[in-house]
Amino acid sequence: MTNLIPALNILPSSVEPIQVEFFDPPMCCPTGLCGPTLDQTLLDVNEMILALQTEGIRLERYQMTSNPNAFLGNVEVMRLVREKQMEALPIIVVNGKIIKSGEYPSLSEVRAALNGAN
């Protein structure tokens, strides 16, 4: 249940702001490999993250158990979580703005958000 790219944890965020943030629902393994059957959705998410990383996008993925502070530190995310509880998750934030809640976006949605914000 670590982050997919924990190496980024050591970078001071003030220098290189995180562009894409995933706030995951509670799950055994974010890869989808840990359940009794494979979760293809999560495998797709994984693939999308790898693609974004390859493009040099700075990205973080947060689990509630390992990164509760990431949730607590984002007022908008916590407001959604308190209001809609499980239905709010996952929440995807691009350049500080929530672009999707309740399901994962497609790669093109994330790209569009990145471009739109630029």
Partner 1 sequence: MTKFIFFSGKGGVGKTSMACAHAVRYADEGKRTLIVTTDPASNLADVFEQEIGHQITPIAGVPNLSAMEIDPDKATQEYIDRAMAPIRAAFPPQIVEVMEEQMSGPCTAEVAAFDRFTDFLDVPSNNGTSFDIVIFDTAPTGHTIRLLELPAEWSQSIDAASAGSGQTCLGPAAAIQDAKHKYERALAAMRQTSQTSFVFVLHPEAISIKETRRAIEELRKLDIENFSLIINGIIPPEGAQNPLFAARAEMQSRYLDQIEHDFDYPKQRMILLADEIKGAGKLRRVGKIFFDGEPASGSDEAARVHLQNETFASPLDDVRARLSPNGHRRTVFFAGKGGVGKTVASCVTAVWLARQGFKTLLLTTDPAAHLGDVLDTPVGDDVTEVSGQLNLWAVNIDPKAAAETYKTRILNDARQRGRPESAIKVMEEELNSPCTEEMAAFDKFIEYASQDEWQAVVFDTAPTGHTLRLLELPVDWSKQIDVKVFASVDATAADDVAKQRFAKVIEMMSDPEQSTFAFVVYPEATPILEAWRAAQELGTVGVHPGLVVANMVIPSEQATTPFVQSRRAMQEKYLAEIGQRFGVPMVQIPLLPHEVKGLEMLAELGDQIYSEQVTV
Radius of gyration of the chain (CA): 14
Which residues make beta-bridge pairs with 21? 60, 93
Residue that has been written with the tokens 């390992």 in this structure: 66
Q: Which of residues 89-108 bind partner 1 (CB under 8 A)?
A: 89, 102-103
SS3 content of the chain, % helix, strand, coil (to 5): 40, 15, 45
* Stretch of 13-21, 31-39, 91-99, 109-117 contacting partner 1, by CB under 8 A: 31-39
19 versus 90: smaller Cβ distance to partner 1: 90
* Stretch of 14-22, 64-72, 92-100, 109-117 contacting partner 1, by CB under 8 A: 64-72
61 versus 94: smaller Cβ distance to partner 1: 61
Minimum Å distance from CB 117 to partner 1? 26
Q: Taking CB under 8 A as the rule, does residue 16 contact partner 1?
A: no
Assess contact for 89 and 108: CB atoms under 8 A: no
Among 13, 55, 68, 79, contact with partner 1 (rule: CB under 8 A): 68
CB-based contacts of 10, cutoff 8 Å, min separation 6: none
